[in-house]
Structure 1
Amino acid sequence: MYYELRTYTIKPTKLGDWLALYKSAALAVQQEYLGNLVGFFTTEFGEANQVVHIWGYASLDDRIARRSAMAADPRWQAFASQNKELDAVVTLESRLLRPTDFSPLN
């Protein structure tokens, strides 16, 4: 099992708008294609205005196949266009993680 941890830094005045757009236009599409949403968070302490979400995949090939299928969906493309228009994302960081043999997520 692999976990993708994605961290978005959002412009301070646009965090609420970005979350509303994501919830209305992207969440259902991602759940349909990516399947295993482990968690979705905003930061309370540390670097401000960050959104962090974690998705689980059976393998690296599984991740590639799921994300490729999602990218071809017109609903996802519409979200990508709206996201670009909103101009809220400052940075995106993506990490692929493998749990240790003693992790509860293993």
Structure 2
Amino acid sequence: MRYAVTRITPEVGGLPKVLAGIEASLTGKSLSGRLLGCFTAEIGVLNQILILQSYDEDAALAEDRSRALVDGSLFGAAEHFREFETTTYMPFDFVPPIEPGKHGPVYEIRVYGVKASGLKPTMDLWRDAVPERAKVSPLLGAMYAIDGSLPRFLHIWPFASLDERMAKRAESVERGIWPPKGGPAHLTSLSSAIYLPTAFSPLS
């Protein structure tokens, strides 16, 4: 199992055109990957789009990516892109695969940079801490990058509202169950954005 996470920043005024191209591309049969989610940033980089796909085979992912780059299709809307990046991730082995469904509609997606020797200790700490933390609010996905800037990992937390997010995060900190004890010592950078699903996103 691999995840492909693509971030697209449209040109000013180009969001509707880019979303239309993405919908036509991802809901058709031109790509091998399974569409899990398509989101737009509510808090973070204004109008940024995030696409989450899963692949069972490396060859299928490589074929999709190569074809899109060579023919320039890039989800059918490349002429309206200002920035485009895509990263391949491997799931943490103790986190269940992401499945479509209604989990949000508020999705917090965080990316943490990790020290060179810090990925395995981080995963071990999360393995111990996530079960108790997930009783407060569920972890939808956690995965580490295998290309691009390394090492780093991404995690996804769904909430019913921004107010619920604040309350659940405060509860987990107050109870001392999150962040994992000793976890921050392995990190080099932190980023977070709030995303909302598009109308055609399987994750809603």
Please show how residues 1-106 of structure 1 align to structure 2 within 5 Å. 1-24=105-128, 26-35=129-138, 37-76=139-178, 79-80=180-181, 82-84=182-184, 87-106=185-204
Cα RMSD (Å) = 1.5
User: Deviation string for 1:43-73 (max 9, x for gaps)?
Assistant: 0111111111101101101111111111111
Q: Is the 8 A contact 2:133 2:177 kept in 1?
A: no
The number of equivalent residue pairs is 100
Structure 2: gaps spanning 5 or more residues: 1-104
Is the alpha carbon distance of 1:65 and 1:104 closer, same or farther for their aligned partners in structure 2, counting shifts above 3 Å? same
For structure 1, the residue ranges without an aligned partner over 5 or more in a row are none
Conservation of the 8 A alpha-carbon contact between 1:29 and 1:70? no
Would you say the 8 A contact 1:9–1:89 is kept in 2?
A: yes
Give the TM-score normalised by structure 2: 0.46
Deviation at 1:16, TM superposition (A): 0.8
In 2, distance between residues paired with 1:53 and 1:74? 20
Deviation at 1:105, TM superposition (A): 1.1
Local SS of the residue matching 2:171: helix
Whichever structure has more helix as a proportion of its residues is 1
> Secondary structure of the residue that 1:12 maps to in structure 2?
coil
Q: Percent identity?
A: 30
TM-score (norm 1): 0.85
Runs of 4+ in 1 over 3 A off after TM superposition: none
Q: Which amino acid aligns with 2:135?
A: E
